[in-house]
Amino acid sequence: MNKRIYIGLLCLTVVIALPFGTDAFLGRSWVRLLDFALLYTMLALGLNIVVGYAGLLDLGYVAFYAVGAYLYAMLASPHIGMHWPLWALLPMGALLAASFGAVLGAPTLGLRGDYLAIVTMGFGEIIRIFLRNLNITNGPAGIDLIDPIQIGNFSFGSSHSLLGWDLPSIYNYYFLFIVLTAFIVLVSYRLSDSRIGRAWAAIREDEIAAKSMGLNTRYLKLMAFAMGAAFGGISGVLFAGFQGFISPESFTMGESVMILCMVVLGGMGHLSGVIMGAILLAILPEAFRPLSQFQQITFGHVWLDPANLRMLMFALALIVVMILRPEGLWPSPVRRRELHQNDAMPASVQKEGP
Amino acid sequence: MSTLLEVKELVVRYGGIEAVKGINLHIHQGELVTLIGANGAGKTSTLNALAGLLKPASGEIRFEGELLNSSPIHQLIQRGLALVPEGRGVFPRLTVEENLAMGAYTRKDKPGMRADLNQVFESFPRLQERRQQKAGTLSGGEQQMLAIGRALMGRPKLLLLDEPSMGLAPLMVQTIFSVIQRVAKEGMTVFLVEQNARLALQSAQRAYVMEGGMIRFNASANECLSDPRVRLAYLGEDS
């Protein structure tokens, strides 16, 4: 028991010290990257409910992120002239995204696997194209001058001094995002071990059998879509307030794929794995950035555009991981057993008996 | 004897194809009734319509006198139907115990569930030995036992079994059938859809013979066993 308290305290210290250390050693832009990593963690945890828990492949998840972001951008900026506070917009974003999740879920209830993936992909694109073409969302130009997040009189957008430390805005956001990420982790954890979590597992395993157990699969699948979407909406609200500017280009299909990669690479259905996958993939492209400097110094010329090279390295890293560890970097014990069944189990068990 | 299930003029269609062409059947309380027939005769379609997995095109399904037509399947389960789907359909990555717990998903009475779990383990000692094992690692026969045990966990009034002998070794088929007979003897009403006509007829009290989407023949199981048409077509014997 004592040991657990110590580990908890240690984790807390690391989490609090992380932005200061990062700032000191790597520079301020890396703290910003940490903030983004946390946003992606929330997104990946939300998608994990749909893909990892209920086994529904969703390739349009970024749409819910967009819904949350645009809600905040429109109701807290000079765009329409409304300046609603976060405490109102955060639950609204979650609810609105959840209802979009249900709207997506309802017509796709009968679909599975590849077919579901195609429809959800279409849904993601439809939302993006709407945002691009509607007047109320200011079309492709997007919305800028979005209010920074504010709770009471505390504005996250400006620096504050605490005990002589000067805390710039990215630090404020870091701590806000940590709190909300912790909340989402807690909800996800409770869900996985709940009655509804077990029902999702049953649907993922065998839908017909789940139906014949008396599970209302319709309702359960809608719940998965709605809950996953709600987390997407929350991250969207935070993203808009943090970034101060959003446009449809932030919500392309590539983003959906990236979030899915985080879930799969880390270990579908396993919280620690998904968190690790999200942080790793959010930071990895940045980590490859010095490669262009390296070229400049050694060859006196940049042979490959750093942006392209980054994505190439990134793709290679993904492929290598998937070949070596198809179950993800940090999978749940169950999934690991499933994918390594053949080499882990004695021959007598492998052979299908009578 | 009261009638538990009554089916009138049931029609099941897949698009333009009529798989079940207006059949009538009934099952009394406590009976073990079998539906036999060749591949494609419409047996599974009939069963899936009864279980609510398929919507009947027309006809009546009455369970305990109440009309069930096109109620969603989770409501049927709550009313006391249990389906053991074709190909067993256990949850491969859940343990034996978790599988059994899923069978009691609609129930709220914890002590009753524990009692039933012990009952299932008593009937299937093999499952008790492997209670912590993943269902996917069980043999085919054990999976079938698990599927039946899981269905019993819902305390059904009527157990619907779809081809429990499918894909099993002959010895295991015998075991499964003795299990089914025992369950029936303990008072469960069972509707058994089967291709293995001989075994099904030996276990059941009454039988329906299905052919081309229609019921061709309906008699006590003993009569069927001695009927020359059934012997020729389904038991592979000349009379």
DSSP string covering A113-160? HHHHHHHHHHHHHHHHHHHHH-TTTTGGG-B-SPPPPEETTEETTS-E
Kindly state the helix (H) or strand (E) to which residue B33 belongs, with its residue range.
Answer: strand B32-37
* Co-location of A257 and A299 in the same domain: no
Question: The domain containing residue A58 runs over which residues?
Answer: 16-269
Q: Let me know if residue A275 belongs to a domain.
A: no
Q: Let me know if residue A64 belongs to a domain.
A: yes
The answer on pLDDT for B66 being more than 80 is yes
Q: Let me know if residue A11 belongs to a domain.
A: no
The mean pLDDT of A176-202, rounded to a whole number, is 92
* Co-location of A115 and A173 in the same domain: yes
* Co-location of A265 and A293 in the same domain: no
Smallest CA–CA separation between A87 and chain B, in Å? 37
Total length of chain B: 239
Selecting from A212, A337, A352 the residue whose C-beta is nearest the C-beta of B51 gives A212
Q: Are A212 and B53 an interchain contact pair (Cβ–Cβ within 8 Å)?
A: yes
The answer on pLDDT for A1 being more than 70 is no
The answer on pLDDT for A345 being more than 50 is no
* Per CATH, domain B1-73+191-239 is 3.40.50.720: no
C-beta neighbour count of B138 within 10 angstroms: 24
Work out the mean pLDDT of chain A and round it to a whole number. Answer: 84
* Co-location of A79 and A111 in the same domain: yes
* DSSP label at residue B41: S
Selecting from B53, B98, B154 the residue whose C-beta is nearest the C-beta of A214 gives B154
pLDDT of residue A354: 39
* Chain A nearest-CA residue for B54: A208
Q: Given strand B3-14, what is the order of strands in its sheet?
A: B17-28, B3-14, B58-63, B66-67
The answer on pLDDT for A137 being more than 50 is yes
* Co-location of A301 and A253 in the same domain: no
Q: Are B102 and A202 an interchain contact pair (Cβ–Cβ within 8 Å)?
A: yes
Cβ-contact A329, B143 below 8 angstroms: no
Give residue B107's pLDDT band: very low, low, confident or very high (50, 70, 90): confident
pLDDT of residue A114: 83
User: What is the number of domains present in chain A?
Assistant: 2
* Chain A nearest-CA residue for B87: A209
User: What pTM was estimated for this model as a whole?
Assistant: 0.82
Give residue A102's pLDDT band: very low, low, confident or very high (50, 70, 90): very high
The answer on pLDDT for B1 being more than 70 is no
- Rg over CA atoms, chain A: 22
pLDDT of residue A247: 92
The answer on pLDDT for A311 being more than 80 is no
* Co-location of A301 and A227 in the same domain: no
* Co-location of A81 and A33 in the same domain: yes
* Co-location of A70 and A198 in the same domain: yes
Work out the mean pLDDT of chain B and round it to a whole number. Answer: 87
* Co-location of A202 and A298 in the same domain: no
* Chain B nearest-CA residue for A207: B89
* Co-location of A103 and A226 in the same domain: yes
Enumerate the residues of chain A whose CB falls inside 8 A of the CB of residue B87. none
Q: Let me know if residue A5 belongs to a domain.
A: no
Q: Let me know if residue A350 belongs to a domain.
A: no
Give residue A16's pLDDT band: very low, low, confident or very high (50, 70, 90): confident
The mean pLDDT of A29-50, rounded to a whole number, is 92
Mutant choice from B47, B54, B71, B73 vs A, greatest count of A C-beta within 10 A: B73
* Co-location of A248 and A182 in the same domain: yes
* Co-location of A115 and A244 in the same domain: yes
The mean pLDDT of A223-249, rounded to a whole number, is 93
pLDDT of residue A336: 65
- ipTM of this complex: 0.79
Which are the contacts of B158, defined by CB distance < 8 A and separation ≥ 6? B4, B5, B27, B63, B80, B81, B82, B189, B190, B191
Q: Where are chain B's structural domains?
A: 1-73+191-239
Q: Let me know if residue A280 belongs to a domain.
A: no
